Structure 1
């Protein structure tokens, strides 16, 4: 036996095993770094800000605002969130967001509701934990503004919504409804409160929107000299961009198309008012009060483009999370006071990442099998050496 062990050492089995181990470790590390880090740079690097027409005013070019729009992150809570599911999907969203900030350099980021999955029933401690995770994942420098719209999973559907949950949300994310920057007006609506049943929260929300409507009207040139506008702080002369969680009323997604639209079997399913979309009445009120030039919404987790009465286009922003889509994305917008242009930036597809891992596992198995196929001839050489001795 001692002679056999000496023969095995002469056949360099130990160095061969060490080389194989190094190869396996190199493959594992390379694939892991690519799938969990570098792939985000590779994919998002291809995204470009859309071009928008600019006009010169007083010898100066009109400024362009670069805005990112994403929706439905659904950070899992302590009740329905498995630790592995949290780790996988939250790492995906964190890397995608941080990579997009570094490569694209947006000036403002809007998240269109359903930040959390369990905000509608989480207790104070669970809420604090979820907020802390969100702030870590979506951290940003002072040169970037982050604006968040209320979603039904953040405060509950209308029958679950309460002033306590709304105040809790607004304490973290601000109660701002009207935001203006670089000549662009944004109106951020709590669409969960657009039930229209006269509840206290709904009445307050509608009163706030009517006041915003008055301010926007005062900014328009033809009514600036009205007695209602005396002493009023002038907003930019620009039709607003309406941001909300629920889409405005539409029958279904039957007219939606594209690779990130709803699956074909779901597109013809009728939407339920006040649950899947806003009611007809609430939609008409928003269009009448605000007269938006563009509407962006979330909630459906799928993409869609709709042209509403009066010519206002609406873009439904797909979910940002792998938990809801295999192909998440976000919208990039270049906006001026008079014009805008949008483009979509896709994140890595989850099935392609899993395929890469599967191919890596197959390569590892082939390396191991190739190593063991060489063992019989090595043993035969040692056996012949033993017989000669």
Structure 2
């Protein structure tokens, strides 16, 4: 009786592997209360037809034509399943990618960049039917010393909604978004940085005129003041949080002892360091190539952005881990983790729901299966499959001569 079902063992294991692959691709999501409300339980309100649900990912670190066998047939395979399952289960209205699409895009020729774009579109799959927006990271366009205006313009032209400086502004479901090329904001006086400043000033003017209900030119009012880095804006009476949703690659400045809370508030997922004179030099190693995960925008740049845009909430990236930070003026900044195994064993992403009537956003942190977990499962399945094949093999019957 026991021998009868042995031949079916390999088939049972193959079926179990298929079921496991589907199950392990499902993200685990948890609502994260604001850093200012960690003592209060997180609650999820019933979705409203006018709510906007946005999935945010970062640091895909794609290799394009340089991707090896493991990346193409294992990592990309699972990442595409993660995207597909997330779309099926979470049903987002939009996708945001907060920089570092490529692992080393600043070093690539345009032909090689095209292969990265093909890989990117292959991973997104069904998301291509939704509105999506991509901002640029330092891996995509390079460090200050090698920042090339023409290259940045070309990379930006391949993603929807970006201008020649790598910035964007759009509105969807009555929610306004502004994305800035934060890499250029780290560099000195150059055309890219001036282009980003123009976007900030334009959005600041629009915000002030909307609040005042006037079309008066701010430059004619003489109500501008400046910082030590020649940033200009009107000293606004608009309250914090009245502006657009701000999208950045680099996090805004925060003090070294600033609170960085997340799913586990006792652990800091974002390491911080003091500013240096050349912030893009001396970078550590994460994934493929140099990567300084402690880098934030300088304090004067951050203050400029706060004063000019009064962001409703800030979403940033660049770090492998998730972070939820509350700035002194009450602005919430959520740092989106890396969604790749090239940056660590704990990929994840963020889902933010923007409610009507400007109610506080609902932010969920979603974690994905670690690479080591899946590799161990495959090894276990392989051992069991070989054992099952040996058990299923019919016994050899030897005939004896008389």
Q: What TM-score range do you get, normalising by the shorter chain?
A: 0.7 to 0.9
Q: Aligned equivalents of 2:274 and 2:77: distance in 1?
A: 32
Report the alpha carbon displacement of residue 66 of structure 1 after superposing the two structures with TM.
1.0
Residues 1:101 and 2:87 aligned together? yes
Q: Aligned equivalents of 1:261 and 1:122: distance in 2?
A: 39
Q: 1:75: which partner in 2?
A: 62
Residues 1:348 and 2:348 aligned together? no
Q: 1:184: which partner in 2?
A: 175
Report the alpha carbon displacement of residue 47 of structure 1 after superposing the two structures with TM.
7.1
Which TM-score applies when normalising by structure 2?
0.75
Q: Aligned equivalents of 2:28 and 2:77: distance in 1?
A: 19
Q: 2:152: which partner in 1?
A: 166
Q: Aligned equivalents of 1:140 and 1:112: distance in 2?
A: 19
Residues 1:241 and 2:216 aligned together? no
Against the structure 1 CA distance between its residues 261 and 351, is the aligned structure 2 distance closer, same or farther, given a 3 Å change threshold?
farther
Q: 1:57: which partner in 2?
A: none
Report the alpha carbon displacement of residue 205 of structure 1 after superposing the two structures with TM.
1.1
Aligned positions of 1:50-69 closer than 5 A = 51=44, 63-69=50-56
Report the alpha carbon displacement of residue 99 of structure 1 after superposing the two structures with TM.
1.7
Residues 1:321 and 2:340 aligned together? yes
Over aligned residues, Cα RMSD in angstroms? 3.3
C-alpha offsets along residues 195-215 of structure 1, whole Å, 9 cap, x if unaligned? 252212111211121111111
C-alpha offsets along residues 66-87 of structure 1, whole Å, 9 cap, x if unaligned? 11111111111445x3332243
Q: Aligned equivalents of 1:107 and 1:369: distance in 2?
A: 50
Aligned positions of 1:253-264 closer than 5 A = 255-257=259-261
- SS of 2:152's equivalent in the other structure is helix
Q: Aligned equivalents of 1:294 and 1:20: distance in 2?
A: 59
Q: 1:338: which partner in 2?
A: 358
C-alpha offsets along residues 59-115 of structure 1, whole Å, 9 cap, x if unaligned? xx8821111111111111445x33322432222221111221222221111110001
Q: 2:290: which partner in 1?
A: none
Checking the alignment, whether the CA contact within 8 Å between 1:115 and 1:151 is kept in structure 2 is yes
Q: Aligned equivalents of 2:59 and 2:369: distance in 1?
A: 17
Q: 2:18: which partner in 1?
A: 33
Q: 1:233: which partner in 2?
A: none
Residues 1:292 and 2:275 aligned together? no
Across the two proteins, how many residue pairs are aligned to each other? 345
Q: Which structure is larger by alpha-carbon Rg, 1 or 2? A: 1
Q: Aligned equivalents of 1:365 and 1:254: distance in 2?
A: 53
Residues 1:136 and 2:122 aligned together? yes
Q: Aligned equivalents of 1:323 and 1:341: distance in 2?
A: 28
C-alpha offsets along residues 315-354 of structure 1, whole Å, 9 cap, x if unaligned? 1111011221322111111103512111122222323222
Against the structure 1 CA distance between its residues 312 and 37, is the aligned structure 2 distance closer, same or farther, given a 3 Å change threshold?
same
Q: 1:277 aligns with which of 296, 315, 325?
A: 296
Checking the alignment, whether the CA contact within 8 Å between 1:261 and 1:302 is kept in structure 2 is no
Q: Which runs of 5+ in 2 are unaligned?
A: 33-42, 219-240, 281-294
Against the structure 1 CA distance between its residues 253 and 154, is the aligned structure 2 distance closer, same or farther, given a 3 Å change threshold?
farther
When structure 1 is superposed on structure 2, of 238-247 and 169-178 the one drifting more is 169-178
